[in-house]
Structure formats: structure tokens, C-alpha cells
Amino acid sequence: MYNVMIVDDEPFIAEGLIDSVDWSGYGLEVVGSAENGKAALELLRRIAVDILITDISMPVMNGLELIRQAREILPHLKVIILSGFNEFDYLKEGMKLGIENYLLKPVNFQELRSTLSSTVDKLNTVKPERVFGDDEIGILRDNIMLRWLTGRISPQEFSDRLSMLGIELTKPYAAVAIVRSDGERDGYAETERMLAGEESAIVFRDAEDDAVIVFGMNDPDSDRGDAERRLRELAEKETIRSGGIRIALGPAKPVAEAAVSYERARRAQQFFLVAPELSFIDFDRLPVASGTGLPEGSLTWASYAKDLVAKDNAELLRRIAGDFAAIRASENADPVRVKGAAVELIIRIKMETDKLNRPEASEAYRNALERVMNADSLERIEIAVKDAAAFASSSFAGEDMSPVIKQVLRHIEEHYAESLTLKSMGQQFHIHPNYLGQLFHKQTGETFADYINKYRIEKAKKLLLESSLKVNEIARQVGYWEIGYFYKQFKKHVGIVPGEYKGFT
């Protein structure tokens, strides 16, 4: 995330820019604003800024002088000029100072967005020189690798971060494995010991505290075979020693598609539910890995997720009946592949229900999975899938809110001071941002933005009454880096400005 400062002597222009651009979508965050060059310069001495967006004509210190002095503090600062003057002299002087673009007011937002995008690309190519401690390196590595395997980092930024941390991932193929322990032994430590000195394998922890291994490979067949043998050895050794370790290996993919291998390794982990006697599962050897061979869209998670999250039991059962009717009507439906697809669908449903933290759920799904695997007809498979869906639906029916909305609300409570958007929440909880916004509004009665602003303002009110912090410090502490926007939201929700409210003490 890169930091942005906006400088303009007309506050409504700065506020308009803040409200009109999806900053987080570009990997940006507005961390401050000022109404003249001198005030901006004071902020730049205290806040790390990557992009400066400034007007030229301002009181006290104009934009061109601001740029000159700012570059003495931050030599690599990127600058975008906004001006109401279409004058060649200003443009020429700006070009001498090395600006990214000279935009005329009123701002053409399409041009601004294009300029922001290209500026971020330039920033991503800069290799920062910084020394990290071992603990910090571990945290950064975990964060960067997880973002990569969940599609939340650009290829250029990922390459830059790997270089910064001294990590090499240069081989053309990759396979991902997940090592999960029962808590009595540290699967991560055992994995690191096994792979010590192995340059082609990267080990990190994911959000579920599992050890994740990314094996770099030249040959997707022979190298993956070697990785499989090493993982089986680890699984056997740990099972003999203490038990409680489960390893799942995803398929070998071109390194740009490693996220697919990670996602399939996670799915493979769920199959230990029906095979608890195993300590190692290879996704490529599962029935579902060979493809379903079913009518398009039949028994696929994407088709069912929306109904399940929305707790629409009738639509869920109707969809199952419709899918099996289509399968029966298909001339090339293979019962073995239908079983594989049904098993995976039930596992996906279970993974969603797991968010409710109900221990009894595992037994219900284990029973449904065993019935699918032992079924001798499509009708029996259909009944088992319906029973699993009905169990999930009844589990959610007792909840006032869908699990995903509960998770989003919990995340807001814990991270309200951070940059939060529907897009980032959708990526984190694997749901389309538009649908998440609709579901959030339906179940909370408020839009996502209004809910966050109200939550932050309530936190600010408490700090204003109970702390000695200054208003601008409180604004930053509750998530508002732009003081003008904080004042605007506070007055909107409270009816008075923060200074007046603080006076109540």
C-alpha cells in the first residue's frame, strides 16, 4: 500500500478527490491533506508519502516550491500537479521538477485514474533498500506469499517484494503443499527442518496457521514426484512419532497459476474428513481432480454458494433437483464422476458451515460423504447431497446473520482503523463485492460505507470524551487520515464538529 497526500487550498476539491477515487483499488491510501505548501511540508516531515497530488497556486507556499523542498526530504517522491491554469510556463517548470502529469481543473477522473495506475507501476519497480529483522522478515514473507497465492498482489509488486526479501522463485512450475498439525506438534517447525537449505522450496504460514510449502520445479512430473516422496516421508515419520499431522499436495502448475495449486491443496485437506486414517493426500489422485464430465454448471460450488450464504433453502434444494435432472438427461454422465463432483460439493458446503464453529457438523457431513461413496444409483447420491444441503440450511437458519456477514462485522471491529472496502472484503471472504454489498445492506440495514463510518465515529466520540488526544490524532487512530473528511463525517453523524463535542468534557 502506497501513501498519498493531497494539497489544495480549496478543501472541497480535496474532499471530492478522496470521495471519488477507489484509492485502495490502486493499492493507495490517502494519509493526509493540507491547504498550502508550508503545511504540507510539515506533514511530509512526519508522514511517509509516496505520491503527492498538489495544486500550484496556493497561499503561503505554492505548489512548485513545495515540490522542490519536498524532494529534499523524499527524493523518490512521485508528484501529480492539479492546476486551474493552462499555462506553458507552469507546465515547463513542472516538467523540470519531474512530475508524473499536469492535470487541469476540473479534474478529468479518467485521466487521473490512468495517471495513478502508471505511477503505482513505477513505484512497484523501485527496489527499496531496507534491512529487516528475522521476525519482521517472517511476517512479511507470510503476508506476501499468502497475497500471491490468493490473487491479491500484482506480478510486478510480488517480484519486487521477493527481491526485497531475498527470496528466489525463478523456476517455471510450482506445486503447493499444506501441512496441518493437531496442535500438539508444530508442523511448521518440522517442515522447516525437513526443507532446511532447500532453495527451490519456500515455507510460510497461512491465515489458518498451517505450514504452506511452495515447491519450485523445472519438470512438473519428475520434480513433483520428488516433492511427493519427501512429503510422504515427513507424514510417515510424524505419524510414527506422535500422529496428528496431515499433508495435502496440490497439482504442479505454471508458476503464474500457483494459486490454483494452493486452492486445490486446501480442498484436498478436507478429504481427511472421510479418510482420517491417512496422513497424506495427493489432489491429483482424487476422483474430482480428473474433471466432472457433467452438464455445464452441474454440482459446482459457484452455483450453490449464493443460495447457501443467503440461507435460501428452497432455492438450494430446487437447484440440486434441477442439476440431477440434467445429469439424468445427459447421454455421457459417468456415475463415478458424479460421485466425485458430489463429494467435492459436500466438502465445500461443509467448509462454509465450519464458519459457525459447530463441532457436531463434522459427523453429519461424514455420514453424507460415506453415503455418496457407497451409493449405487444417482438417486442415492442426490438424496445424500440434499441431506447435506438441508443440514447446512438448518444450521444457518438458526443464525440471525449469514456467516460471511458475521465475519465481515468481526473484521470491522478488529480492523476499523485500517483501509476497508467492499473489494478488499470480497477478496478476503471469497464473495463478489457487489453481492456482498447487497447482502450487507439487507442484513444490517445499512450500506457498508455508512456502517464503517458510524462505527469509527462512535470510537472517535469515546476518545474525544475519555482521552487527552488531539482531534487529528483521534481521527488517525479511528481510521481517518484525511482530517477534512473526518470533520465531515463527524458532523453528519453527530450534528456538531469534533472540537465542540470534546468541549462536553
pLDDT one-digit tens code per residue, 455-503: 999 999 989 888 888 888 899 899 988 788 888 888 888 888 888 887 7
Per-residue pLDDT, averaged over 308-324, amounts to: 83
Which one has a higher pLDDT value, 449 or 299?
A: 449
Is the CB of residue 419 less than 8 Å from the CB of residue 21?
A: no
Q: How far is CA 366 from the centre of its chain?
A: 30
Q: How far apart are CA 147 and CA 258, in angstroms?
A: 12
For residue 165 the three cell numbers come to 526479501
Summarize pLDDT for 174-189 with one digit per residue, the tens: 999 999 886 555 667 7
pLDDT at 395 over 50: yes
30 pairs with which residues across the strands? 4
169 against 334, higher pLDDT: 169
Query: At residue 289, does pLDDT exceed 50?
Result: no
d(CA 79, CA 98): 8
Q: Can you give the pLDDT at residue 126?
A: 57
| Residue 51: pLDDT over 90 | yes
pLDDT for residue 497:
85
Instruction: Give the least confident one: 39-48, 399-408, 440-449, 473-482.
Output: 399-408
In the predicted model, is pLDDT for residue 505 greater than 60?
no
Average pLDDT, the chain: 81
- DSSP, res 419: -
**Residue 312 DSSP SS3:** coil
pLDDT above 80: residue 411: yes
Instruction: Say how many CA atoms lie within 13 Å of 396 toward its Cβ.
Output: 26
CB within 8 Å of 14: residues ≥ 6 apart: 6, 7, 8, 33, 482, 484
403 pLDDT higher than 80: no
CB 448, CB 441: distance < 8 Å: yes
pLDDT at 329 over 80: yes
pLDDT value of residue 133: 45
Q: Please give the average per-residue pLDDT across 240-265, as a whole number.
A: 86
Q: For residues 247, 248, 252 and 256, what is the CA-based torsion angle, rounded to 10 degrees?
A: -100
Give the whole-angstrom CA distance, residue 37 versus residue 67.
9
Summarised one tens digit per residue, pLDDT across range 223-250 is: 999 999 999 988 887 765 556 788 999 9
pLDDT score for 85? 66
Instruction: Give the predicted TM-score (pTM) of the model.
Output: 0.48
CA distances to 14, 56, 107, 117, 214 from 110, rounded to whole Å, are: 17, 21, 9, 11, 39
Local confidence band at 53 (pLDDT 50, 70, 90 cut-offs): very high
Q: Which pLDDT tens digit goes with each residue over 190-201? A: 788 878 778 789
What was the pLDDT predicted at 132? 44
Q: Residues near 99 by Cβ (< 8 Å), separated by ≥ 6?
A: 67, 79, 80, 81
User: pLDDT confidence of 90, banded at 50, 70, 90?
Assistant: low
Task: With cut-offs at 50, 70 and 90, classify the pLDDT of residue 384.
Answer: very high
Give the chain's count of helices (H) and strands (E). Answer: 22, 11
| Residue with more model confidence, 98 or 345 | 345
**What pLDDT was estimated at residue 127?**
42
Question: Which set of grid coordinates corresponds to residue 479?
Answer: 481510521
